[in-house]
Amino acid sequence: MGSTLLLVGGGLVLLALGGELLVRGAVGAARRLGISPLLAGLTIVGFGTSTPELATSVQAALAGSPGIALGNVVGSNIANILLILGISALILPLAVNPAAFRRDSLALGASTVLATGAVLMGTIGLATGLVLVAGLVGYIWYAYRSEKAADDDEAHRHEAETADTMPVTTRPLALGVMIVAGLAAAIYGARLLVEGAVVLAAAAGISESVIGLTVVAIGTSLPEMIACLVAVWRNHPDVALGNVVGSNIYNILGILGLTAIIQPIEAPADIARIDIWILLCVTLLLIVQLRSGWKLSRIEGGVLLVLYGAYTAALALR
């Protein structure tokens, strides 16, 4: 068991390190190429921070572990809403930018409905993956056009994200080393994590889906948790909320879509029967909470945490 936990822990460390190196190298390259900070924030930073989820889901799908591949995406989104936003709101109530959230709530709700339909189909294959990725491209294009025209707080948030991830040096060789090393660390880390998760599931006598929904999902969501807590600590609640909403959109449209394009995923029966509906319900709950008063209060954050505790307890009994 000790060696298995080392595999899981080592994989998570490499995933986090690889994602960080990849983002910083790519942002530096974008600056040298003259790509605007807003576009870099929407694309490079968005994809880069989702590297752990992508590498893990692809590795799991290729290894024949659909429960981990799909559970990672579904579980990460549930944890992002119930756990990460719950903790963040308990520390500092999260105010909402109404104009930006009207657009993003539509994208978040629509992508979750698409994911539900894809899971209920049984097999998430090439055609479904292309639809999901096309949806992400459309969302990025629309968000870029609207934020560029408005030059609002949401645009400034994406520009600030780019500035925060700018590397110390922008020399081409150093940027190339960072990108290659980041990719290598993420791919190898994902391999270790998946191998460890499969062994852990077998040793504990539980399904790979449960491991994917809990250990793997929470582990790959650690970068979002750290980013949100830092944002709350700096008194930037809009950044914390934007991180989670953006991550959930990318996880479904980008991570699930790209994974299905690379390797079709057979949706496990327990995820189709229970967990995808829980994701749909908590997503709708979040949208209703935020649109009702344009704020996530401490009480509402506490409710989210209680719900996550109940969900994980139910998973333990499955």
Phi, psi of 266 (to 5 degrees): -85, 115
**Given its phi and psi angles, is residue 267 left (phi above 0), alpha (psi -120 to 50 degrees) or beta?**
beta
Tell me how far apart the alpha carbons of residues 46 and 154 are, in angstroms, rounded to a whole number.
14
DSSP states of 181-233: HHHHHHHHHHHHHHHHHHHHHHHHT--HHHHIIIIIHHHHTHHHHHHHHHHHH
**Quick one: 229 exposed, middle or buried, by C-beta within 10 A (0-12, 13-18, 19+)?**
middle
Amino acid 33: pLDDT: 66
Tell me how far apart the alpha carbons of residues 85 and 94 are, in angstroms, rounded to a whole number.
9
Amino acid 152: pLDDT: 55
Tell me how far apart the alpha carbons of residues 229 and 237 are, in angstroms, rounded to a whole number.
9
Tell me how far apart the alpha carbons of residues 63 and 11 are, in angstroms, rounded to a whole number.
16
CA end-to-end span of the chain: 21
Give average pLDDT by consecutive 10-residue segment, the chain, 318 residues. Answer: 75 79 74 64 65 86 92 94 92 79 84 95 94 92 72 57 65 80 80 80 83 86 78 75 84 94 94 96 90 83 94 88
Tell me how far apart the alpha carbons of residues 143 and 106 are, in angstroms, rounded to a whole number.
12
Instruction: Name every residue whose Cβ is closer than 8 Å to that of residue 263 and which is 6 or more positions away in sequence.
Output: 58, 61, 62
108-117 burial, b if ≥16 CB within 10 A, otherwise e? beebbebbbe
Amino acid 17: pLDDT: 82
Amino acid 183: pLDDT: 79
Q: Which amino acid is at 184?
A: A
Amino acid 147: pLDDT: 63
Contact 17, 178 (CB under 8 A): no
Token output for 134: 């096309």
Amino acid 6: pLDDT: 79
Strand partners, 296: 94
Is 286 in a helix, a strand, or coil?
Answer: helix
Tell me how far apart the alpha carbons of residues 272 and 265 are, in angstroms, rounded to a whole number.
12
Q: Identify the structural domains of the chain with CATH numbers, from first to last.
A: 2-316 (1.20.1420.30)
Contact 49, 248 (CB under 8 A): no
